Amino acid sequence: MLPLQVAFYQQLCEFCEFHGIKLVVCNSPVTDENRALIPDDIRSKYRAMVADTARKYGGTFVDMDQPNAFAHEDFYDSVHLNGIGGQKYFDQVGVILSRSGGMSIAGKTSAN
């Protein structure tokens, strides 16, 4: 991420913490071909910065970019899921959110 993107990401995390918004940050999946374009150390530093920043402000980080979690056929291109892949992604996100407790929506929680 560029310094300006990092600053805006930090501001978003701060905003969520300040306003009591439960933040869940998901690292999106990419294809093996795309993963091979970025050196492992750069990808690891990026992932650590995103995860550490989310956690610093009380958020949760979920790494959806796991080997074999999505098939090549789930992608429209090397970084964007197609309709079927998108459905799989949001099904998994739904499970993660349901396990994380009541989510706040306009001042109310799903547990209310």
Instruction: Indicate the domain borders of the chain.
Output: 1-28+35-65, 67-100
Instruction: Look at residue 96 in the predicted model and tell me its pLDDT.
Output: 83
**5-27: per-residue pLDDT in tens?**
999 999 999 999 999 999 999 99
- Beta-carbon contacts of residue 72 (< 8 Å; ≥ 6 apart): 31, 32
CB 66 within 8 A of CB 29: yes
Query: What pTM does this model have?
Result: 0.80
Q: What is the pLDDT of residues 48-106, one digit of tens each?
A: 999 999 999 999 999 999 888 999 999 999 999 999 999 999 999 888 888 876 554 43
Predicted pLDDT of residue 101: 65
3-state secondary structure the chain: CCHHHHHHHHHHHHHHHHCCCCCEEEECCCCHHHHHHCCHHHHHHHHHHHHHHHHHCCCEEEECCCCCCCCHHHECCCCCECHHHHHHHHHHHHHHHHHCCCCEECCEECCC
Kindly state the tokens that stand for 17. Answer: 């913490």
Query: Model confidence at 112, in pLDDT bands (50, 70, 90)?
Result: very low
